[in-house]
Amino acid sequence: MKVKQISLVFWANVLIVLALFTACNEPSHHFRTIDHTHSREQEPDYSSVYYTVFFGAEAIPTAMHEPAIGALIGFYTEAPPRFDGRIIATHEDSLGVQHDAFMHTMLLDDDFPLLWLLECMAEQKLPVFVIGPPETGSPFNHGLLNEVIPAFGQFSVPMLVVFYPLSADTNWNPDYYIAFFRHARVLFAQHAPNAAFVWAVDASMENYMRYYPGDLAVDWVGMTLFIENEDSDIWTSLDEFHRTFQHEKPIMLNVGISHLSNVDRRYRVHEAKAIMDDFYKTIGGNFPRVKLINYLDVNRMNYTGAEGGHDYRIHIDSVLRAAYQESTANFLAARATLDEMDVIPLRSAFAAISENEGQVYLDVRTITDELNQPMPPRTRWKDGSRRVNVETLEGWAVCHEHRHVFKNAK
């Protein structure tokens, strides 16, 4: 009887070990973590943390209608069939967010939206017009252009005009596009000097710089991002766009975040909430030249374009409305940390890393390539790059709370 009891105990222990081994070797269904900021209530893990690096600019010209301090919050929603002049007030009441700007889309051959402009004036919002090519005929119609422009200058209202934004489906001849864009810029300067001109692209578009009409024809630049899920890679294209234009132009972002796809018809409201929080917070604290974010409250479930098959609306769901309130507030709070710097911050293309209980190491390419200064002494290889301890550099400082490394202009 004693042998039988020992045998049962032995096999029970074997089964337990096998169960634990099997559980440890099951495939992990871990998704990419959305919130990559550490909790303020806990000590951060300095062993594998990346820091955003900023260096100061002596001076960057302020563009037309660019806020000198802070950034703007904007919104776009599709106008109802019967527009009664209350679309802005209605959505602000629903969302519980006070916006600085509102966006309207139109084609070159559409009637001018006078009622919408009057509501922007009454509500003290910055109008953002998006003008696309006419529905039929040549996209580069000079006659239509001459007809519509005077309406934009009739009240001398400050406004942004996003002229002929580019998408992944754009197949225009770049030379024709640039010539038409520049001509439109000249006409707006003559008949609607109150309008700042915006050149914009979709984040999914490749080789967009071949369509760039030049700095003299552009006041702002913009990028549109439709985020389908947490695996959408938007940061690569956004990083490149920001680095390209941060020295010269303020940046406008248009963003839509999906909570429903026609692939599986499954609501992902809480995933969308997490993405929204991460996006607004990250932009606010790490992309200093972004001066306006417009949320795109649109339904593209039946759309065949690149962003089609998704619902990006937030005004229809209470969880998303609350998330939008929190995210926009976080964006402005994070942005305030950059405004506290005594210089105009520019973002380095190279991240710093921290380890060894808070020691932060700067990639030397920030110093040699971006600031055109000599290689500092006492460098070492870390994380695949030659780096230097920030503590050994004069004029550099570290903010662990926001994961920032920054240098003054002088």
Which helix (H) or strand (E) segment holds residue 381: the answer is: strand 380-382
pLDDT higher at 203 or 309: 203
Report the pLDDT value the prediction gives residue 83, as an integer from 0 to 100.
55
- Model confidence pTM above 0.75: yes
User: Which pLDDT score is estimated for 90?
Assistant: 84
Helix axes 87-95, 318-339, angle to 10 degrees: 90
- pLDDT higher than threshold 70 for residue 32: no
Task: Give pLDDT, residue 408.
Answer: 67
Closest CA to 328 of 257, 279, 377: 279
- In the chain, domain spans: 49-53+345-407, 63-342
Contact 317, 259 (CB under 8 A): yes
Strands 195-202 and 220-227 come out as parallel
Q: What is the mean pLDDT of residues 137-156?
A: 95
DSSP 222: E
Query: Residue ranges of the alpha helices (H) in 246-389?
Result: 269-286, 318-339, 365
Q: Judging by DSSP bridges, how do beta strands 260-261 and 310-311 pair with one another?
A: antiparallel
pLDDT digits (tens, 9 = 90+) for 226-255: 998 888 889 999 999 999 999 999 999 999
pLDDT at 82: 53
More confident residue, 267 or 207: 207
CA nearest neighbour of 77 among 101, 104, 44, 98: 104
Nearest Cα to Cα of residue 235 among 371, 14, 36: 36
CB-based contacts of 298, cutoff 8 Å, min separation 6: 76, 77, 78, 256, 312, 313
pLDDT above 70: residue 195:
yes
What's the pLDDT at 323? 95
Higher pLDDT, 40 or 324: 324
> How confident is the model over 201-226, as pLDDT tens digits?
999 998 999 999 999 999 999 999 99
How does pLDDT run across 106-117, given as a tens digit for each residue? Answer: 999 999 999 999
pLDDT-based confidence at residue 48 (cuts at 50, 70, 90): low
Is residue 397 exposed (0-12), middle (13-18) or buried (19+ Cβ within 10 Å)? middle
| Better pLDDT: 344 or 320 | 320
Instruction: Specify the pairing of strand 352-355 against strand 344-347.
Output: unpaired
CB–CB of 272/320 below 8 Å? yes
pLDDT at res. 15? 41
Please state, for a pLDDT cut of 70, what percent of the chain lies above it: 83
Q: Which of 252, 200, 201, 263 is nearest to 228 (CA)?
A: 263
Please state which architecture CATH assigns to domain 63-342.
Alpha-Beta Barrel (3.20)
